[in-house]
Amino acid sequence: MACHHDPMATSSASAGALLHHVRTGRARSRAELVALTGAARNTVSARVDQLIAAGLLEEGGRGWSTGGRPPTLLRFNSAAGCVLAVDLGVTSVDVAVTDLSAQVLATVGHPIDIAEGPDRVLAEVDRLAQQVLAEAGLTPADVCAVGVGVPGPVEFSTGRPSHPPIMPGWHDHPIPSAFGRYGCPVFVDNDVNVMALGEMGVAGSVQDVLVVKVGTGIGCGIIVDGGVYRGAQGSAGDIGHIYVPTADGREVVCRCGQVNCLEAIAGGGALLRDAQAAGMPVTTTREVVERAALGDGQALELVRAAGRTIGTVLAALVNFFNPHRIVMSGGVARAGVPLLAGIREAVYARSMPLAARALEITVSEAPDLSGRVGAALMAIEGWLDEDSVHQALERAAVAR
């Protein structure tokens, strides 16, 4: 049997690694940490005691005995701080404050127009962030980190958008600077990568997964061994601008300036354009999707056709990447079965049998929440990296 390597389940017994194992449910006691890492019992106990003193771990209750004294159970102290999670879309933004297990404490959504530019939009985000903190009874000083998902390519190391086609005026804008009042790390990524993290959840996954968002644009979050794969510059997964030919040979200009990009043929805007051209009395993509979900014949065929086009691109990704599963999300994915039928038809027809043999293609179970949860998890993972945990232990030691 092929074995996937989980980079966080190594023999490392650093304080950060031990905290990660408990936080993600891989270990629940000192004994389990010893078994998982192979480290000496005294080493593990000393570092667990440091994590408890720093307020990051707690003891709680007794586990099952295997012959000796029942082990003392460990749990992550998710109330040790909070993070702000921002899911920024083209026409709306959702802001949440969560604990350190990504449980939402308060959240609010508001319509925006991303084309109004970063100054006006981020000022609104700041207002909403202060609102959710007040609702949760928290202050800016309680915020440990901020996670932001945006609908465009991002240079992850700097948090700056890079030539985003649907975000005019945002190129190279220093998004983290808008959150200076919190005095904490700010992590910014493409919204689909963030959504992919949300789909994996706190416990994560050792599977290889493609999370595909079909909305105004089309993008793909790539999960490799449970972690987001961003590529050399952070632009991995930008499948919306892969060239696809049309059946009738026509050329469709994309917002990026190229012709026949996938999102120009099968994205939300394309679906609305084609529905109106067919004479359907609709004014939004949501109406087309709702009609398809209700069984409208014209809408069903348009959604299935979009699914087949998307599936043709995904089939190439399946042959290249061989994922365990594909998860569909975004506004158009709300059409459900009709979209999946078109995607599956193309993927299973055009993928190699071995690559598609055990492949699962599903619709997200929580598309409305995955963006906020993913932004929170990105912030939490970033804040609880090795260096940050080490610094927290040093601060706790000085305080004592």
Concatenated DSSP letters for 268-323? Answer: HHHHHHHHHHTT---SSHHHHHHHHHTT-HHHHHHHHHHHHHHHHHHHHHHHHH--
Q: Please check whether residue 3 lies inside any domain of the structure.
A: no
Tokens 């009609």 map to which residue? 291
State the total domains in the chain.
3
On whether both 217 and 344 belong to a single domain, the answer is: yes
Give first-to-last CA distance, the chain, whole Å.
50
- With beta carbons less than 8 A apart as the criterion, state whether 158 and 142 touch: no
On whether both 159 and 214 belong to a single domain, the answer is: no
CATH number of the structural domain spanning residue 62: 1.10.10.10
Q: Please check whether residue 155 lies inside any domain of the structure.
A: yes
Q: CA angle at residue 364 from 318 to 240, to 5 degrees?
A: 50
CATH number of the structural domain spanning residue 290: 3.30.420.40
pLDDT value at residue 169: 95
Q: Please check whether residue 10 lies inside any domain of the structure.
A: no
- With beta carbons less than 8 A apart as the criterion, state whether 93 and 128 touch: yes
CA-to-CA separations, 221 to 18, 29, 74, 200, 208, in angstroms, rounded: 28, 34, 33, 11, 11
Concatenated DSSP letters for 232-275? Answer: TTS-TT-GGGSB---TT----B-TTS-BSBHHHHHSHHHHHHHH
On whether both 265 and 238 belong to a single domain, the answer is: yes
Edge-to-edge strands of the sheet including 104-111?
104-111, 92-98, 82-88, 143-150, 186-190
On whether both 217 and 360 belong to a single domain, the answer is: yes
Q: Please check whether residue 191 lies inside any domain of the structure.
A: yes
On whether both 206 and 319 belong to a single domain, the answer is: yes
pLDDT value at residue 66: 61
Separation CA 51–CA 47 (nearest Å): 6
On whether both 249 and 332 belong to a single domain, the answer is: yes
On whether both 20 and 160 belong to a single domain, the answer is: no
On whether both 161 and 205 belong to a single domain, the answer is: no
On whether both 129 and 161 belong to a single domain, the answer is: yes
pLDDT value at residue 9: 40
pLDDT value at residue 365: 84
On whether both 362 and 387 belong to a single domain, the answer is: no
Please report, in tens digits, the pLDDT of each residue of the chain (400 residues total). 333 334 444 448 899 999 999 998 889 999 999 999 989 999 999 999 999 999 999 988 665 656 566 778 999 999 999 999 999 988 899 999 999 999 999 999 999 999 999 999 999 999 999 999 999 999 999 999 999 999 999 999 999 999 998 899 999 999 999 999 999 999 999 999 999 999 988 767 778 999 999 988 899 999 998 789 999 888 899 999 999 998 888 899 998 889 999 999 999 999 999 999 999 999 999 999 999 989 999 999 999 999 999 999 999 999 999 999 999 998 888 888 899 999 999 999 999 999 999 999 999 988 788 899 999 999 999 999 888 888 888 887 887 7
Last residue of a domain, one of 25, 59, 76: 76
pLDDT value at residue 67: 58
On whether both 282 and 392 belong to a single domain, the answer is: no
Query: DSSP secondary-structure letter at 171?
Result: T
On whether both 318 and 362 belong to a single domain, the answer is: yes
* Domain encompassing residue 381: 82-199+369-399
Query: If residue 154 lies in a helix (H) or strand (E), which one and from where to where?
Result: strand 154-155
pLDDT value at residue 65: 56
Sign of CA dihedral 347, 350, 352, 357: positive
